[in-house]
Every structure is written in structure tokens, then in C-alpha cells.
């Protein structure tokens, strides 16, 4: 699926989730604001809470709603969804609350006491005072808050992608990972355009209300209505004609996942099965989505599921781990492991080939001897993972220095001699070209990360259809496919890389 | 009580039987503090009554009670013999012209809309409201071209006139004015007070006016009520007030009288 094809759906979903969150926030903020005058304690506590919420990064707020909703589901036994629409809606609404409360409270507080007094004294009813005096006078400030909230919400809604809600973030995050800047730009431009049009529409309504002129207010409302109609119309026209519910494939945020998703999608589509790809899910959220049935097919790794789904931290041999996973995922979560693809995307320690030869290092045991003179570069999370603790326990490794880098920079750190040893991922495309060797884990301290296709509960036919992927993708072929999507120049799209992978492996 | 006796004392007011406005044993407590402690009052129809007294004496609160912006903790308020607490508050307010402290013009409404506010609440059509607004503007010597202006564009004197016009718009029988000329220069204030006096007479209004301008009260009011710490300490026509020996009343009068004497000494 190219970026432009995904745009109408993402745009419509983005607008819908933003509008729904804003509406919810207004429904919560309005009564609070109207209750505030004369209740300073209410104003203080509500504004305090809203300010604290605002200091939480939007991404963290979205992520926090996942465990929160799981907790609610466990406590109440209600079928509360913890992914997708609900957490996005709640988090975005909460985020929009502060500007709305500020605008509302500020607007009402700015009304002179004598004006409120006069409105009562001349015999206006409560509602007449509210509409003709308080809200009309507060409208410019209230609408200022509403515009801020709308722009923030539309911006933050791109992050809803991470908890499995379709949005323009789908384009942005997939584009970032693939370094497809056109796609990133398309997603950003669409979000910015949306924000600007909504802001302008609300601005017209605001000036209309402030100057008691119906014209601009009506034009503003028309702008907003036209926007909604245009976006939903475009989405309606570009939506796939097929009426059958599509099989949904979920991906995490890196190229290997995108390529494998395209490989499977193309395969299923050939048999007339409609397929939708939900890309850019957070790592922990991907499996949860499969478990909950929001996603039919997930691509995951045995070591990840071992800790995240089974809650285990011990290291067992590769084959045994796979057998336990197949049994336990089915028994505990109803999830079927349809196929083990045949390669690992495991943590490994890597060195430049010449340095390794010069120092005589082939295995991690060999490394122990020279490590105190070497510098290690890890990804951001490695040092807090069980793998690092396991390595230290098994080998007693000590380095001269340890530095954390973002994954894309680690290979560069090795290249410019900022580091001597790095943590690598065994299916990393860069390994297929760079002169780097992976050190053998001779004591079996690092857990296996076999790539697996996992299928949601109750999709047995689908699981059976995917069984033919078992053991079909060797690690060297996967690396080469990844490199096609990741290399700095002459990049291919995940779909193209997937086509190449299909011919190489015969998975056509 | 002195206030109750006032009806008989007011020789220059035509008194036809029952008083127009009557307060009986009014008490008001706000935030635990007694604001008004037993107000008895009878105002004959057509009287211009000035409420004077130090700040915090309860003058504004008394007006607000009469317009049902506050509810008394004890006592009764009767307008033309009817207990206003037994009536709908909004209806009571629409029947009374009340110019609140500070004016309280609606900044987002034009002058004409401000003046036509009560008529609008009473369901008058647009044309009739506009005509009434222009009529009142003429009466209060406001140029007609101001009708479409907003309060923010008016001078202090013009805003005060608009406030007065708004209170008069629906032809109330009772007018409550809370320092209507408070922030004006003396010349404008004097001219406007004269205008009000004439209107009050011509329209047959009963008017209660809270003022800090003792000279205005003494020279133009039919009756004066002197409030001190929530009680009426003196009431009657200005001549009687001027002669009242109560120390608080004399203290109130001392400044304007001294000023008048000094001014008289200046002129040849």
C-alpha cells in the first residue's frame, strides 16, 4: 500500500478521532467552567490537575491508558477495549482539557461584576444570562481556548497510531522508519493542513460571536462542515470496494515488520482476501492487539513473547522455548503460533571484522579477556534488559566504557571508531554489507528471538493458511531484504522488498 | 419606629392611604455578618428617597433586597401591598428599574440594545424597542447617532445616561438607583441629577437613590434615609435630617455644610 493510498483513510480517521476527543473534552470542561465562578477551591483543584496532565508528554499519556484500561477491565469484568479508539479518545480529550478550562475560566473571570449584576437586576433568567451575557462575552477567550485545544488535539492525534488507532501518524511513523521522507512529509502536511483549516474555521466563528455578526460565524461553520464532508467523501470513494471484512496485519515500527506484512498481504490478496495493514504499533501493544483480536496476524519474536506474554525471565534452549510458546500462548491467550519463519532477530554482540581478527575474538568468551580495553555501544534499552544481566552473569563482561545510542546510530558508532563492540540485531540489513562479525554466544546466555507469525484467537483457517511460512526465510535473505528498505541510497519500498523476498524464498 | 412614622412626616408628599413600598423588620446576614438589622420603612408613591450613610452601612444591600437580588433572613417587603417574596423573582425584577453600582452596561450590546434590554425580555418587537430607546435617549439628552455605538465608545456621562435609560425603558413604577452618577465630574453630575429629578416627577415614579452626594440628597430628595451599620438612624424630609441631633447624622452632614459655608465666604 503506497502512502497516497492510505491517506484518505488516515485523514478521515484522524479528523474523526480529533473531533470526538475535542467534543468529549468540551462536554467535560463546560460544566466545570460554569461551576467555577464563586468556587475558588474547584477552580484551583481542576486547573491544578489539568496542568499536571499537560506536563505528561502526549505519547506517555496515550501509553498510560493501556494499562489503566486493562486494570479497569480486570476490576469490573466489563469488556473494556484497552487499545485503539478508547485509549486514544480518553488521552486526547484529557490533553485538550487544559486550554479549554483556561479559556473558559479566563473568559468568565474577565466579565465585570457589574455586568453580571446588571443582567440579574434587569430580570434575565439563568439561561438568558448564560447565553446572552456570560457566554457571549466570554466567547472570544473561550474560542481562543477551543482553537488551541483543537490544534493540539489534531497534532497529538498523530501519536494515537502507537496504541493502535488509525491516524495520520500511520504515515508519519512508517515513513520515519523507512526513511521515506515523502511519506513523513505527506502525513505532517496533512495534519498541519487539517489543523490550519480547523483553526481558521473556528477563528471565523469566534470573530462572528465577538462582534455579534452572523455572517463570519456562519462562514466559519460552513468551512468546518465542508472540511468534514470533503474528508469523509474522499475516504468513502477511496475505500476498497470489497464488502468482506479485511484480515488485519499489525506491524511494529521497523522495516522487517513492514516487509513481512507486505509479503503476507500480497499473498492473501492473491487469493481474493481483502487485507488491511495497521502499521507502527508499539512493541508491547502489538501482541496485546493480536490477543484481543483487534489484529488478526502479528509478527513477533520468541524472546519478546517469552517475557511479555508468558512473564518468564529464564533462558532455555531455542527449540524448547518455541515448543513452550506454541503450547502456552494457545492455552493462556488462545493465540496460535502459525509459523516460525526460520530466522532470528536476536540481540547479539558485534565487532568490526578486522578488529575481531586482530584481537582473536570469535566468541563472547574470547571477548571477556580484551573487553576491559574496549568500548561498548548499546541501544537505549539494552542496559536495562534481562539480556545484559544474563550476559554479565554468564561471562562476567567488563568494558572500559558503555554508551547508549539510538539504534540507527550504533553501526555508525562502530564505523567511526566511537565504539569497539556494539549490540546488534541479528537480522539487521546493515550486517549484510558492513564488514562486521557477530560474536558467538558460546554459553547460550542470550535468549532466542525467532521470528514468529502469531494469529488471533478463533482464526484457525488463517493460521492453517500461514503454516507454509514455517522455516522458509533464512536470516541472510531477510537481512538482504531489510537492507533494500534501510540502505541510505537506492531505497526500495517495503512492498518492493517484499516482492524480492517472495521470489527469493518461493513464497509466492 | 422612625421610618414607619415617616409617612406622616412627609408633608410635601401626597399620601393616599397605603405606602407604595414597605419593609417590615428586614434582616440580612451575609457570610455570618449582620448587614441589615431590622429595617422598617414605608415609602409613599411618588417619593424621591435618598439613601445616605457611610460605606458598608447597608444601602446597596437594601436596594438588592427590594429587587430580590438578595433574600432577607427575616422580614417582609411589600410593593403596593403585595409581598414580593411570594412572587416570581424574575417578574419582580422586570417590573422594577434597577441601575446597579458601576452601571453594568453590556459591553457587547449597542446603546439601543442596552436601553431596550428589559423591553426585549418582555417580548417587545424590534421596532418598538428601537422607538423606545430613541425616545429615552432624547429625554436624557443623548444624541441619536449614539444608538448604534457600543458602551466602550461612550463618555462617563453618556454611559450614566444610558444606564438610567435602561432602568426606565419598560416604564417601571419603582426605580432603584445605586450611585448612578458616582464617577462623574460635578458639573455633569449636577445636570444629570436635575434631569433625573424632572423625569421622576413627570413619569410619576417612586425612586430610591443611593448617593454619597449629601448636597444632592438634601437639595433634591423628598425623603432621606440615613443608614448606619445596618440600621436606619434617621429618616424624614431633608429639613428634618439637617436638624437631626444624632451624632452620626451630624458627622455625615459636617463636611458638606462646612464646604458650603466656605464656598459662600469665597463669593463676594
Looking at the fold, whether A130 and A22 belong to one and the same domain comes out as yes
Q: Do B90 and A123 touch (CB under 8 A)?
A: yes
Domain termination site, one of A217, A238, A259: A238
Which residue in this structure is represented by grid cell 431633608?
A: B238
Q: Do B101 and A117 touch (CB under 8 A)?
A: yes
Closest A-chain CA to B108: A137
> A365-374 pLDDT, tens per residue?
999 999 999 9
As a whole number of angstroms, the distance between CA A485 and CA A316 comes to 33
ipTM of the complex: 0.88
Write down the pLDDT at residue A107: 84
Residue B11's pLDDT band (boundaries 50, 70, 90)? very low
Which of B91, B108, B118 is nearest residue A122 as measured by Cβ atoms? B118
Residue A195's pLDDT band (boundaries 50, 70, 90)? very high
Distance to chain A for B186, nearest Cα, Å: 23
Which residue in this structure is represented by grid cell 423606545?
A: B132
Closest A-chain CA to B121: A124
Residue B4 pLDDT exceeds 60: no
Which of B92, B93, B101 is nearest residue A114 as measured by Cβ atoms? B101
Residue B190 pLDDT exceeds 80: yes
Closest B-chain CA to A211: B108
Which of B91, B98, B103 is nearest residue A122 as measured by Cβ atoms? B98
Write down the pLDDT at residue A46: 86
Domain with CATH 3.40.50.300 in chain B: 2-95+173-266
A213 in contact with B at a CB cutoff of 8 Å? no
Average pLDDT over residues A34-60: 84
Looking at the fold, whether A336 and A352 belong to one and the same domain comes out as no
Residue B12 pLDDT exceeds 60: no
Q: Which helix (H) or strand (E) holds B24?
A: strand B21-30
Task: Establish if A60 belongs to a structural domain.
Answer: yes
Mean confidence (pLDDT) of chain A: 86
What residues of A are in contact with residue B94 (Cβ under 8 Å)? 122-123
Distance to chain B for A212, nearest Cα, Å: 8
Residue B118 pLDDT exceeds 60: yes
Tell me which of B99, B104, B114, B178 to substitute to probe the interface with A (most A C-beta atoms closer than 10 Å). Answer: B104
- CB of A384 within 8 A of CB of A429? no
Looking at the fold, whether A141 and A83 belong to one and the same domain comes out as yes
- CB of A114 within 8 A of CB of A140? no
Looking at the fold, whether A78 and A184 belong to one and the same domain comes out as yes
Looking at the fold, whether A333 and A358 belong to one and the same domain comes out as no
Per-residue cell: A334: 488462545
Q: Do B90 and A210 touch (CB under 8 A)?
A: no
Which of the residue ranges A116-130, A132-146, B194-208 would you say has the lowest mean pLDDT?
Answer: A132-146
A129 in contact with B at a CB cutoff of 8 Å? no
Which residue in this structure is represented by grid cell 515500527?
A: A253
Looking at the fold, whether A303 and A194 belong to one and the same domain comes out as no
Q: Do B93 and A133 touch (CB under 8 A)?
A: no
- CB of B163 within 8 A of CB of B103? yes
Which of B95, B105, B108 is nearest residue A212 as measured by Cβ atoms? B108
Mean confidence (pLDDT) of chain B: 88
Write down the pLDDT at residue A364: 93
Task: Establish if A492 belongs to a structural domain.
Answer: yes
Domain termination site, one of A205, A238, A271: A238
Looking at the fold, whether A81 and A21 belong to one and the same domain comes out as yes
Residue B238 pLDDT exceeds 60: yes
Residue B17's pLDDT band (boundaries 50, 70, 90)? low
Looking at the fold, whether A396 and A408 belong to one and the same domain comes out as yes
Distance to chain A for B263, nearest Cα, Å: 36
Looking at the fold, whether A321 and A423 belong to one and the same domain comes out as no
Distance to chain A for B171, nearest Cα, Å: 13
Tell me which of B106, B162, B167 to substitute to probe the interface with A (most A C-beta atoms closer than 10 Å). Answer: B106
Q: Do B91 and A123 touch (CB under 8 A)?
A: yes
A119 in contact with B at a CB cutoff of 8 Å? yes
Q: Do A121 and B93 touch (CB under 8 A)?
A: yes
Task: Establish if A454 belongs to a structural domain.
Answer: no
Provide CB contacts within 8 A for A499, sequence distance 6+: A266
Q: Do B121 and A123 touch (CB under 8 A)?
A: yes
Name the residue range of residue A418's domain. 347-438
Residue B52's pLDDT band (boundaries 50, 70, 90)? very high
Distance to chain B for A125, nearest Cα, Å: 7
DSSP state of B184: S
Q: Is A117 helix (H, G, I), strand (E, B) or coil?
A: helix
Distance to chain B for A58, nearest Cα, Å: 38
Q: Is A35 helix (H, G, I), strand (E, B) or coil?
A: helix
Residue A10's pLDDT band (boundaries 50, 70, 90)? confident
Single out the residue of B87, A97, A134 nearest to residue B76, CA to CA: B87
Q: Are strands B48-52 and B223-228 parallel, antiparallel or unpaired?
A: parallel
The second-level CATH assignment, the architecture, of B2-95+173-266 is 3-Layer(aba) Sandwich (3.40)
Burial of B134 (0-12, 13-18, 19+ CB in 10 A): middle
Q: Which residue has the higher pLDDT, A278 or A23?
A: A23
Looking at the fold, whether A215 and A108 belong to one and the same domain comes out as yes
Write down the pLDDT at residue B9: 36
Write down the pLDDT at residue A238: 72
Distance to chain B for A148, nearest Cα, Å: 24
| Strand extents, DSSP E, A83-148 | none
User: Which residues of B lie closer than 8 Å to A, measured between beta carbons?
Assistant: 67, 69, 90-95, 98, 100-109, 117-118, 121, 166
Q: Which residue has the higher pLDDT, B68 or A55?
A: B68
Write down the pLDDT at residue A241: 57
What residues of B are in contact with residue A112 (Cβ under 8 Å)? 102, 104, 107
- CATH number where A356 lies: 3.40.190.120
Per-residue cell: B105: 452596561
Write down the pLDDT at residue B3: 38
Which of B90, B103, B107 is nearest residue A137 as measured by Cβ atoms? B107
Looking at the fold, whether A210 and A306 belong to one and the same domain comes out as no
Write down the pLDDT at residue A418: 87
A128 in contact with B at a CB cutoff of 8 Å? yes
Q: Identify which of A285-294, A409-418, B121-130 has the greatest average pLDDT.
A: B121-130
Helices (H), B122-246: 126-139, 156-168, 186-203, 214-220, 238-243
Task: Establish if A187 belongs to a structural domain.
Answer: yes
Domain termination site, one of A238, A272, A302: A238
As for how many domains chain A has, the answer is 3
Q: Do B102 and A117 touch (CB under 8 A)?
A: yes
Residue A501 pLDDT exceeds 70: yes
Single out the residue of B27, B70, B62 nearest to residue B43, CA to CA: B62
B17: left (phi over 0), alpha (psi -120 to 50) or beta: left
Tell me which of A118, A126, A207 to substitute to probe the interface with B (most B C-beta atoms closer than 10 Å). Answer: A118
What residues of B are in contact with residue A124 (Cβ under 8 Å)? 90, 121
What residues of B are in contact with residue A117 (Cβ under 8 Å)? 69, 100-102, 104
Write down the pLDDT at residue A118: 94
Q: Is B77 helix (H, G, I), strand (E, B) or coil?
A: strand
Task: Establish if A500 belongs to a structural domain.
Answer: yes
Looking at the fold, whether A202 and A296 belong to one and the same domain comes out as no
Q: Do A123 and B93 touch (CB under 8 A)?
A: yes
Average pLDDT over residues B73-78: 93
As a whole number of angstroms, the distance between CA A385 and CA A15 comes to 38
Residue A242 pLDDT exceeds 60: no
A126 in contact with B at a CB cutoff of 8 Å? no
Task: Establish if A233 belongs to a structural domain.
Answer: yes
Closest A-chain CA to B68: A121
- CATH number where A334 lies: 3.40.190.10
Average pLDDT over residues A117-129: 92
Write down the pLDDT at residue B251: 87
Average pLDDT over residues A92-98: 89
Distance to chain B for A123, nearest Cα, Å: 5
A121 in contact with B at a CB cutoff of 8 Å? yes
Burial of B124 (0-12, 13-18, 19+ CB in 10 A): middle
Task: Establish if A444 belongs to a structural domain.
Answer: no
> A147-186 pLDDT, tens per residue?
999 999 999 999 888 887 888 988 888 787 777 788 889 9
Q: Do A122 and B121 touch (CB under 8 A)?
A: yes
As a whole number of angstroms, the distance between CA A343 and CA A450 comes to 6
What residues of A are in contact with residue B117 (Cβ under 8 Å)? 122
Average pLDDT over residues A138-153: 88
DSSP state of A440: B
Amino acid at each position: 500500500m503506497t502512502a497516497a493510498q492510505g491517506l484518505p483513510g488516515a485523514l478521515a480517521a484522524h479528523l474523526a478521532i480529533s473531533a470526538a476527543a475535542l467534543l468529549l473534552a468540551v462536554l467535560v470542561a463546560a460544566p466545570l467552567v460554569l461551576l467555577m465562578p464563586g468556587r475558588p477551591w474547584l477552580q484551583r483543584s481542576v486547573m491544578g490537575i489539568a496542568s499536571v496532565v499537560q506536563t505528561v508528554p502526549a505519547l506517555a499519556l496515550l501509553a498510560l491508558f493501556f494499562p489503566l484500561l486493562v486494570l479497569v477491565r480486570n476490576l469490573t469484568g466489563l469488556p473494556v477495549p484497552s487499545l485503539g479508539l478508547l485509549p486514544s479518545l480518553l488521552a486526547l480529550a484529557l490533553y485538550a482539557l487544559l486550554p479549554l478550562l483556561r479559556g473558559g475560566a479566563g473568559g468568565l473571570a474577565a466579565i465585570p461584576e457589574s455586568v453580571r449584576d446588571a443582567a440579574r437586576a434587569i430580570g434575565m433568567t439563568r439561561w438568558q444570562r448564560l447565553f446572552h451575557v456570560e457566554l457571549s462575552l466570554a466567547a472570544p477567550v473561550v474560542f481562543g481556548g477551543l482553537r488551541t485545544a483543537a490544534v493540539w488535539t489534531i497534532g497529538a492525534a498523530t501519536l494515537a497510531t502507537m496504541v493502535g488507532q488509525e491516524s495520520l501518524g500511520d504515515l508519519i511513523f512508517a515513513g520515519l522508519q523507512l526513511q521515506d521522507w515523502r511519506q513523513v512529509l505527506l502525513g505532517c502536511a496533512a495534519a498541519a493542513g487539517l489543523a490550519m483549516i480547523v483553526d481558521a474555521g473556528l477563528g471565523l466563528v469566534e470573530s462572528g460571536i465577538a462582534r455579534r455578526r452572523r455572517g463570519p460565524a456562519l462562514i466559519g461553520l460552513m468551512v468546518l462542515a465542508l472540511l468534514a464532508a470533503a474528508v469523509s467523501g474522499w475516504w468513502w470513494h477511496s475505500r476498497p470496494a470489497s464488502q468482506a471484512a479485511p484480515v488485519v496485519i499489525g506491524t511494529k515500527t521497523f522495516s522487517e515488520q513492514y516487509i513481512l506484512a507486505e509479503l503476507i498481504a500480497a499473498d492473501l490478496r492473491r487469493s481474493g482476501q481483502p487485507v488491511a495493514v495497521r502499521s507502527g504499533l508499539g512493541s508491547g501493544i502489538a501482541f496485546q492487539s493480536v490477543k484481543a483480536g483487534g489484529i488478526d496476524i502479528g509478527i513477533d519474536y520468541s524472546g519478546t513473547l517469552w517475557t511479555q506474554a508468558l512473564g518468564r525471565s529464564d533462558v532455555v534452549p531455542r527449540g524448547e522455548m518455541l515448543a513452550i510458546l506454541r503450547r502456552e500462548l494457545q492455552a493462556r491467550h488462545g493465540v496460535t503460533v502459525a509459523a516460525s519463519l526460520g530466522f532470528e532477530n536476536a540481540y547479539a554482540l558485534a565487532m568490526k571484522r578486522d578488529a575481531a581478527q586482530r584481537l582473536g575474538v570469535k566468541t563472547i568468551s574470547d571477548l571477556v579477556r580484551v573487553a576491559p580495553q574496549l568500548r561498548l555501544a548499546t541501544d537505549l534499552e539494552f542496559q536495562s534488559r534481562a539480556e545484559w544481566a544474563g550476559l554479565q552473569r554468564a561471562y562476567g563482561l567488563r568494558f572500559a566504557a558503555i554508551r547508549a545510542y539510538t539504534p540507527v546510530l550504533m553501526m555508525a558508532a562502530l564505523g567511526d571508531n566511537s565504539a569497539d563492540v556494539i549490540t546488534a540485531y541479528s537480522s539487521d540489513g546493515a550486517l549484510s554489507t558492513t564488514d562486521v562479525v557477530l560474536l558467538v554466544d558460546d554459553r547460550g546466555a542470550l535468549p532466542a528471538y525467532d521470528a514468529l507469525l502469531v494469529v488471533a484467537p478463533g482464526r484457525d483457517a488463517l493460521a492453517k493458511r500461514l503454516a507454509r511460512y514455517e522455516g522458509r526465510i533464512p536470516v541472510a535473505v531477510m537481512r538482504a531484504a531489510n537492507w533494500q528498505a534501510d540502505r541510505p541510497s537506492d531505497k526500495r519500498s517495503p512492498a518492493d522488498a517484499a516482492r524480492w523476498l517472495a521470489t527469493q524464498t518461493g513464497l509466492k | 419606629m422612625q421610618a414607619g412614622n415617616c409617612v406622616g412626616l412627609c408633608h410635601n408628599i401626597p399620601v393616599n392611604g397605603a405606602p407604595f413600598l414597605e419593609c417590615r423588620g428586614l434582616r440580612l446576614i451575609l457570610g455570618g455578618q449582620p448587614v441589615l438589622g431590622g429595617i422598617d420603612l414605608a415609602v409613599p408613591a411618588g417619593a424621591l428617597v435618598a439613601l445616605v450613610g457611610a460605606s458598608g452601612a447597608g444601602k446597596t444591600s437594601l436596594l438588592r433586597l427590594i429587587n430580590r437580588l438578595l433574600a432577607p433572613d427575616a422580614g417582609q417587603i411589600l410593593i403596593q401591598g403585595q409581598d414580593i417574596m411570594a412572587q416570581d423573582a424574575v417578574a419582580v425584577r422586570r417590573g422594577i428599574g434597577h441601575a446597579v453600582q458601576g452601571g453594568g452596561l453590556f459591553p457587547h450590546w449597542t446603546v439601543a440594545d442596552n436601553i431596550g434590554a428589559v423591553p426585549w425580555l418582555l417580548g417587545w418587537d424590534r421596532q418598538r424597542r428601537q422607538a423606545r430607546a430613541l425616545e429615552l435617549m432624547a429625554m436624557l439628552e443623548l444624541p441619536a447617532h449614539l444608538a448604534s455605538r457600543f458602551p466602550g465608545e461612550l463618555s462617563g456621562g453618556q454611559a450614566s445616561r444610558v444606564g438610567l435609560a435602561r432602568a426606565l425603558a419598560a416604564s417601571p413604577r419603582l426605580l432603584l438607583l445605586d450611585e448612578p452618577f458616582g464617577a462623574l465630574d460635578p458639573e455633569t453630575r449636577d445636570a444629570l441629577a436635575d434631569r433625573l429629578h424632572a423625569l421622576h416627577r413627570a413619569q410619576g415614579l417612586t425612586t430610591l437613590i443611593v448617593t454619597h452626594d449629601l448636597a444632592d440628597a438634601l437639595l433634591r430628595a423628598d425623603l432621606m434615609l440615613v443608614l448606619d451599620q445596618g440600621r436606619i438612624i434617621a429618616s424624614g424630609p431633608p429639613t428634618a435630617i439637617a436638624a437631626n441631633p444624632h451624632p452620626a447624622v451630624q458627622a455625615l452632614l459636617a463636611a458638606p455644610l462646612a464646604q458650603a459655608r466656605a464656598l459662600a465666604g469665597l463669593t463676594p
